[in-house]
Structure 1
Amino acid sequence: MRNIILSIIGVLVIVASFLFAKKLIADKNKPKPVQAKVVKTVFTDTIQNATIPIVIAANGNLEAKRRLEIYAEVQGVFKPGSKLFKPGQEYKAGQSLIKIDASEYYASVQSSKSNLYNSIAAIMPDLRLDFPDVFDKWQNYLTNFNLNKTTPKLPEMTSDKENFFITGRSIVSNYYNVKNLEQRLAKYTISAPFSGILTEALVTEGTLIRSGQKLGEYIDPSVYEMEVAISKTYANLLKVGEDVALNNLDKTETYTGKVTRVNGSIDATTQTITAYIEVKDANLKEGMYLEANLNAKQEKDAIEIDRNLLLENQQIFVVKDSLLDVIDVKPVYFSDTKVVLKNVPNGSIILKKAVPGAYAGMLVKPFQDKPVTKDQQ
């Protein structure tokens, strides 16, 4: 019985070995599956060279073109006026911004004017006797002399004798002394040189003001300037009078400015040149941050593409016979996201969007929009 069982097991082992060997031979002779080629679908664009405007992006803060920092040249108490000296207060041209109490100084000015009047009146008898031909003009001067008005100019002297006589009586020196005092008296009142608005007030009514003290800041809110720094590469391209498109950070408001000045020197540290853009708009405020787009030049026979399509060795991918290839190009301007290129032949088919892992010789298929049929609708 045992021999029978062993015989059966031996037969089964032989049969299994035969079947296994047959399977190995069949697998060895079986052809390997051919791997299907992967064809990537890419977005392409057909090139047509044109004139590309090179627009330089810059930014900066607005500052009032006409600004006045108010300082005191005399000392005294700030007198209340018709308007409160507060930030945001508007004034017309010629209106008083600040009036400083000048009572004591005004009295000294009147005293000097009175002394001048008396000096001229004292020489009138001598003029009548020695210089009868000039007596009338000096008499008219005294008649028109008003202590409550600005001291009039002395009569013009027509001869050396008259000049020596008048000067010898210290009348000329007294006259200029009075004019000097009147000039200083005018500094007790600070008037608005132009219509504008007060943006900073450092004193209030009743404050004792000292000479040299800063009192506030005053601006004209109708005209603003923006200072922008441009690369020295475009120093020769910026032109005074060129229009500039401006917009806020949210891109919700657009303004039109004009290049009014271009600095004649280049900053040695940053190698940039400063341009000043003038802009007018009722909605603008000092300190606003704006972005500017300056039209530097027109580049002929060029194209503009995304910067990520330009390879490191100044080449770009083109599609030829369903294969990727590279051509050499000449970049002429870089912006944050775009690059302007030359030497790209018309009719070339280039990639419109970057393809990860792209290489020369890669098999691609240009993407085509299929028209929607009535059945698909």
Structure 2
Amino acid sequence: MRKLILTILGVLLIIASFFFAYKLIESKNKVKPVPQKVVKTVFVDTVKNSTIPIVIPANGNLTAKRRVELYAEVQGIFTPGSTLFKAGQTYRQGQTLIRIDASEYYASVQSAKSNLYNSIAAIMADLRLDFPEVFPKWQAYLNGFDLNKTTPKLPSMASEKENYFITGRGIVSNYYNVKNLEQRLSKYTISAPFDGILTEALVTEGSLIRSGQKLGEFIDPSVYEMEVAISKSFANLLKVGEKVELNNLDGTEAFTGIVSRVNGSIDATTQTITVFIEVKSELLKEGMYLEARLDAKQEENAIEINRNLLLDTNQIFVVRDGVLDVVDVKPVYFSDTKVVLKDVPNGAIILSRSVPGAYAGMLVKIFEDKPNKASN
């Protein structure tokens, strides 16, 4: 009985093994599903070459075109005036900015002028006797001499004898000594060289001012300049007098300036050239940060596309019969986001948006809802 049971179990095991092997063979022979080809939808433009303006972006801070740093050339006490010497104070041309007490020095100047007057008066008797022909002009000079006014210029010498006589009495040297003192006396008063505003005040009324000390800064707020650096490749394209569009960082205010100066040398370190843009507006302030767009040149038979559409090999993707292909192009100018290209065939259909993982030979489908015409 036991042998019968074992025999039946063995037969069942053999039959189960056959069935299991059959199932394994059958599963290997099943046809694997073929993956469907993915056709990506792309956005395109049709190329139409035209004239593309090359606009160079630049930025910088405004500085007053006319500015004066005020320094003291003499020493003394800063005396109060009719207008406080404070930052933001406006002055008219010729109006006194700073007046330094010069009472002591003024006395020495008057003493020197008096000595000059006395020296000339002392020779008048000799002039009447020895040089009667020149006596009238020297007499007129003395009559017009005023100690409270600037010393008038000495009469011109008509002959060598007169020159020797006057010079020998020390009158010429005294005259130039007086003029030197008067010139220095004028430095005790600093006047506004033009209509403007005080932007920095480093001293106050009553303080002791020393020679060589900086007193402040004075600017003309009607005209500003912005210094920008551009690539040396555009050095020959920018010309003085060209208009420049400017705007603030927010883009809420726009201004028009002109190229006032172009530096004649190139910075050896950065290989850039400095351009100065002049701009006028009541809304501008010194130190304001502006962005400029300089029209450098017009590039003919070119297109402008996004920089991310240009491959590292100077090629771009085109669509031909539903398949991506590449064409060689010639980049002529790069901006922050755009690139200007030449040698792109007219009528070519190019990508207007980048496609992740794109490659030559990739199947694509053109987005038809909004067909775009020509890249500028």
After TM superposition, give the deviation of residue 295 of structure 1 in Å: 1.1
Q: Which amino acid aligns with 2:268?
A: A
Q: Which amino acid aligns with 1:363?
A: L
Cα separation, 1, equivalents of 2:192 and 2:278 = 23
After TM superposition, give the deviation of residue 24 of structure 1 in Å: 6.1
Q: Report matched runs for 1:16-35 at 5 Å.
A: 31-35=31-35
- After superposition, the C-alpha distances for 1:188-211 in whole angstroms (9 at most, x for unaligned) are 000000010111111100111111
Cα separation, 1, equivalents of 2:327 and 2:91 = 65
Q: Which residue is 1:158 aligned to?
A: 158
Cα separation, 1, equivalents of 2:370 and 2:336 = 34
Q: Report matched runs for 1:1-12 at 5 Å.
A: none
Q: Which amino acid aligns with 1:79?
A: T
Q: Which residue is 1:289 aligned to?
A: 289
Cα separation, 2, equivalents of 1:69 and 1:22 = 102
Q: Which residue is 1:270 aligned to?
A: 270
Cα separation, 1, equivalents of 2:190 and 2:21 = 115
Cα separation, 1, equivalents of 2:26 and 2:293 = 74
Match status 1:323 vs 2:335? no
Q: What's the TM-score, normalizing by structure 1?
A: 0.92
Cα separation, 2, equivalents of 1:8 and 1:346 = 86
Match status 1:65 vs 2:65? yes
Q: Secondary structure at the match of 2:114?
A: helix
Q: What's the TM-score, normalizing by structure 2?
A: 0.92
Cα separation, 2, equivalents of 1:242 and 1:32 = 71
Q: Which residue is 1:125 aligned to?
A: 125
Q: Which residue is 1:145 aligned to?
A: 145
Q: Which amino acid aligns with 1:202?
A: L
Cα separation, 1, equivalents of 2:4 and 2:370 = 76
Aligned length: 371
Q: Secondary structure at the match of 1:187?
A: helix
Q: Which amino acid aligns with 2:45?
A: D
Cα separation, 2, equivalents of 1:74 and 1:26 = 112
Cα separation, 2, equivalents of 1:7 and 1:128 = 171
Q: Which amino acid aligns with 1:158?
A: A
Distance change in 2, residues 1:238/1:370 (3 Å): closer
- After superposition, the C-alpha distances for 1:294-329 in whole angstroms (9 at most, x for unaligned) are 111111111111111111111110000000000101
After TM superposition, give the deviation of residue 23 of structure 1 in Å: 6.2
Q: Secondary structure at the match of 1:133?
A: coil
Q: Which residue is 1:238 aligned to?
A: 238
Q: Which runs of 5+ in 1 are unaligned?
A: 372-377
Task: Give me the identity figure in percent.
Answer: 78
Q: Secondary structure at the match of 2:120?
A: helix
After TM superposition, give the deviation of residue 20 of structure 1 in Å: 6.6
- After superposition, the C-alpha distances for 1:27-74 in whole angstroms (9 at most, x for unaligned) are 566544332211100010100011111111111111111110000011
Q: Secondary structure at the match of 1:257?
A: strand
Q: Which residue is 1:375 aligned to?
A: none
Q: For the aligned residues, what is the CA RMSD?
A: 2.1
- After superposition, the C-alpha distances for 1:131-159 in whole angstroms (9 at most, x for unaligned) are 11111111111111111111111111111
Q: Which moved more, 1:31-40 or 1:108-117?
A: 31-40
Q: Which residue is 1:357 aligned to?
A: 357
Cα separation, 2, equivalents of 1:294 and 1:280 = 17
Q: Which runs of 5+ in 2 are unaligned?
A: 372-376
Q: Which residue is 2:374 aligned to?
A: none
Cα separation, 1, equivalents of 2:186 and 2:157 = 28
Q: Report matched runs for 1:26-45 at 5 Å.
A: 31-45=31-45
Q: Which residue is 2:338 aligned to?
A: 338
Q: Which residue is 1:200 aligned to?
A: 200
Q: Which amino acid aligns with 2:347?
A: G
Q: Report matched runs for 1:92-111 at 5 Å.
A: 92-111=92-111
Q: Secondary structure at the match of 1:291?
A: strand
Distance change in 2, residues 1:331/1:154 (3 Å): same
Cα separation, 2, equivalents of 1:354 and 1:214 = 59
- After superposition, the C-alpha distances for 1:342-376 in whole angstroms (9 at most, x for unaligned) are 100000101101100000000001111179xxxxx
Q: Which residue is 2:220 aligned to?
A: 220
Cα separation, 2, equivalents of 1:5 and 1:43 = 76
Cα separation, 2, equivalents of 1:322 and 1:192 = 75
Q: Secondary structure at the match of 2:172?
A: helix
Cα separation, 2, equivalents of 1:236 and 1:279 = 22
After TM superposition, give the deviation of residue 11 of structure 1 in Å: 9.6
After TM superposition, give the deviation of residue 7 of structure 1 in Å: 10
Distance change in 2, residues 1:264/1:38 (3 Å): same
Cα separation, 1, equivalents of 2:131 and 2:21 = 153
Please identify runs of 4+ aligned residues in structure 1 that moved more than 2 A.
1-35
Q: Which amino acid aligns with 2:130?
A: D
